[in-house]
Amino acid sequence: MDEAMDGDAVCQQLQDNAYDLILLDIRMPGKSGLEIMAWLKETGIDSQVIIMSGHSDYRIVRQAFKLGACDYLKKPYDVDDLIQAVGDKVLERRQSRSRATTDWSNPLKGELFRRTLDHLPELVFLLDERKCFEYLNHKVESLTGLPAEELIGQPLSRLVHEDDIAKLPLFFERAEAGEPITQEIKLKTHSGGVGHKDFEIILTSTLGVNPALAQANFSPEDPPFLGIARDITERKQTLELMEFRASHDSLTDLPNRNLFMDRLRLAVSQARRNGQKFAVLFIDLDNFKAVNDAYGHGIGDQLLQKVASGLKNCLREGDTLARYGGDEFMALLPSLDEKKDAATVARKLLTSLETPFRFAGCDLRVSIGTSIGIALYPENGDEAETLVERADMAMYAVKREKKNGFRFYS
């Protein structure tokens, strides 16, 4: 074992003698440790290098590994750790020399591994320090419509949808810290036109700054980032459909009673805070049971769908129309300036039902009217349940008097 106190002396020793292992500090007088490693690479001197440094900077450590370091000890280090690292690397070097003369299958392993990756259902990729693709398995073509060869050397952002580009800086920053990070990101697709799919991407740095990496079998040629992308488009669509069905009526696709009450409570909270007015309309079809009995539930369901479409077309974008149950609908009209504005909407709703409804496949026309009760916030109540109850009372007053009209609660 020999010792040298500065960079120039290290180079001289290496020219004069052959060493299995070099313990090299990154900072030293004369040439730095990184400069010596670059010189080793240029001259072709075959020695393993363990670097020692007080640096925890990811980029400096990565540069050392890129130049050929086989291990890393962070100062101050424990002497037992140093002895263990030296012993491991000397044994590893001897075993490597033995394998080089006996293992004829090594040249095939990389190709077999890549073929295995190509048959995975996920997209697997490696990124260099510029966040550009250095490797992609062939799954990228079936998932995005672009061949791997076209993307090599291109940045990951080339594939990311514009809506999610802003997620990338923090995504990489967290991955560089050494822990695998999972993020939902939209990737652009080019199959049958430009579109996008939803992916769950796991990104990890092949070299973090945590101490555990000192025991990793790290190759100096490994790119800094490994990513695995799983297509979750169908899963997300299924979840979104389930959430939609839980909050919407299956026949009309309108919000159901639960969603309507949630929106009404939110409207109460906002109006109370901002000093606004709004209206709740209880809409009940007249003589709907007679239509069902006369023509059957199939025609009855079609009629409810046509009525729902007509009523919805009368409302503003920010209003809510819900199917409350059976032949009952509810409308929420937020941010009303005057009581007469609610009356104007009620007249539009009544007018939308004046023309008889026709049904495909049969020579049938059905006319139906509706009774509408209106409750105003805060005039008729300051709680969601109270407003619904009083709009209901106003609606029944219309049914008792004449039907097919509207009335305010009083």
Cα 321 → chain centroid: 30
User: First and final CA of the chain: distance in angstroms?
Assistant: 101
The answer to whether 133 touches 187, Cβ cutoff 8 Å, is: no
Mean pLDDT along residues 365-379 = 94
pLDDT of residue 120: 84
Q: Domain 248-408 is classified in which CATH homologous superfamily?
A: Reverse transcriptase/Diguanylate cyclase domain (3.30.70.270)
The whole-model pTM stands at 0.59
Tokens standing for residue 274 = 């901002």
The answer to whether 359 touches 302, Cβ cutoff 8 Å, is: yes
Q: Taking 70 as the threshold, does the pLDDT of residue 30 lie above it?
A: yes
Q: How are strands ordered across the β-sheet holding 71-74?
A: 21-25, 48-53, 71-74
357: left (phi over 0), alpha (psi -120 to 50) or beta: beta
pLDDT of residue 212: 38
pLDDT of residue 193: 64
Which residues, including other chains, have CB under 8 Å from residue 318's CB and lie 6 or more apart?
334, 335
The answer to whether 200 touches 229, Cβ cutoff 8 Å, is: yes
Distance from C-alpha of 161 to C-alpha of 47, rounded to nearest angstrom: 46
Domain boundaries, the chain: 7-102, 109-237, 248-408
Nearest alpha-carbon partner for 306 in 260, 252, 346: 252
Architecture of domain 109-237: 2-Layer Sandwich (3.30)
As assigned by CATH, the class of the 7-102 domain is alpha beta
Nearest alpha-carbon partner for 356 in 368, 371, 346: 368
Tokens standing for residue 70 = 């086989």
287: left (phi over 0), alpha (psi -120 to 50) or beta: left
Q: Taking 80 as the threshold, does the pLDDT of residue 318 lie above it?
A: yes
